[in-house]
């Protein structure tokens, strides 16, 4: 499903990723008492922010899974779906494969 919204500047549209429901100790927690997830998938990104006359691209792209603060962003509803509009600096981290550290060359010098 395509979202008909394009965020401006350094803003990002995120759809929350729903956690799988688990019952702990036989207690069922109603939806109204559950905390909203702080993880989501990036749906759309803005063109980037301006810094000293040059546009700086965002570090996230559509499809990335990100972690954001509990009270971050602005909630919106489009086509009966809930989304969150965040500024890039409200994103705390990005999930993904960890990059391997570059191999050190062994030149024999100490």
Fold of 11-18+35-95: 10 Kd Chaperonin, Protein Cpn10; Chain O (2.30.33)
How is the chain split into domains, by residue range?
Answer: 11-18+35-95
Give the pLDDT confidence of 28-76 residue by residue, as tens digits.
666 565 666 688 999 999 998 888 889 888 888 999 999 998 888 899 9
| CB 19, CB 37: distance < 8 Å | yes
Give the pLDDT confidence of 76-98 residue by residue, as tens digits.
998 888 999 999 889 998 887 55
Look up the pTM and report it: 0.69
How far separated are the first and last CA of the chain, in Å rounded?
58
Query: Which residues does 91 contact at the CB level (< 8 Å), separation at least 6?
Result: 12, 60, 66, 67, 68
Residue 63 corresponds to which tokens in the numbers above?
Answer: 């499809």
CB atoms within 10 A of CB 72: 16
Nearest residue to 64 (alpha-carbon basis) of 12, 101, 19 = 12
């Amino acid at each position: 499903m395509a979202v008909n919204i394009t965020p401006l500047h350094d803003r990002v549209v995120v759809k929350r990723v729903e956690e799988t429901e688990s019952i702990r100790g036989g207690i069922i927690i109603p939806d109204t008492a559950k905390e909203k997830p702080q993880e989501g998938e990036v749906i759309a990104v803005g063109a980037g922010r301006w810094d000293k006359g040059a546009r700086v691209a965002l570090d996230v792209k559509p499809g990335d899974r990100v972690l954001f603060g509990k009270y971050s962003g602005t909630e919106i509803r489009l086509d009966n779906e809930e989304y969150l509009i965040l500024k890039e600096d409200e994103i705390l981290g990005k999930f993904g494969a960890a990059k391997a550290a570059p191999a050190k060359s062994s030149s024999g010098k100490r």
